[in-house]
A and B are shown apart, each in its own frame.
Chain A
C-alpha cells in the first residue's frame, strides 16, 4: 500500500496558539486531502488540493485554516488561534494518478489536543 506519512503523531497546544500539521504524500498523487475526526465522531472532509491549489473546501474549513505546499513535496495544514473544539485526529489522504477506482489512501493521522 502506498505510504503517506504525517508529523507529528501527537501535538498538544494551548488554546489560541497556532499549529502546523505536516504530511508527505507519495510522488504520484493526483489529489491531496485533509480530513478530521473528532473522538467518537465521523470522519469529516476539510479541503482538497489539486494542481497546487485548493479545489474544494467544506464549511469547516474557515479562515482559521490554511493549506500550503511549502517546498513542492510536503503539504501543511495550519490552524490559527486553535480552539478547544479543534481537538481531533487530522488525516491527510491522497488519490493516485494510476488508480482508476478513485481510492483515497489515508496517512496515519496527527492527534491534536488543545488545552
Chain B
C-alpha cells in the first residue's frame, strides 16, 4: 500500500528556520514532491527530488533519502506569508501523486 506521513502542525517564529519531515512507503517510487497550499487555494509546486541529496531553491530546500524513505522541506528566513499547509507527495510509477495529509505551518511574529 501507499503511506505518506508528515506532522499535522508546526509553529515557528518569523525569521527562523523550520524543517518539515516526511516519510513514505510506496511502490514504484519515482520521486518526491513538495507543494504549498494556502487555505481554500490550489497546491502550488515547490520542489521535486528524484536523486538523494539536497536541492536548494532560494529560501526553500528539499532533501531526499530513497534508502530511508525520508524527505524534508527546509524553510529559511521565515516570513508571515509562509503560513500555509505543506504537502509531501510521492510520485509513483503510474505517474499519479500520492499525498500526505499536509503539515500546517503557523509563522508567528
Q: Which A residues lie at the B interface, using CB under 8 A? A: 1, 31, 33, 35, 41-45, 48, 50, 55-56, 58, 91, 95, 101-109
Contact = CB atoms under 8 A, between A and B. Distances in A.
The B contact surface, by secondary structure, is: strand
B30 to A, nearest CB: 7
The A contact surface, by secondary structure, is: strand
A55 B96 CA distance: 10
Given A106-B42, A108-B41, A45 B98 contact: yes
Given A43-B99, A101-B48, A106 B43 contact: yes
Interface string B92-109: 001111111110000000
Contacts of B42: 91, 106-109
6 contacts: A41-B101, A43-B43, A56-B96, A91-B42, A103-B33, A109-B42
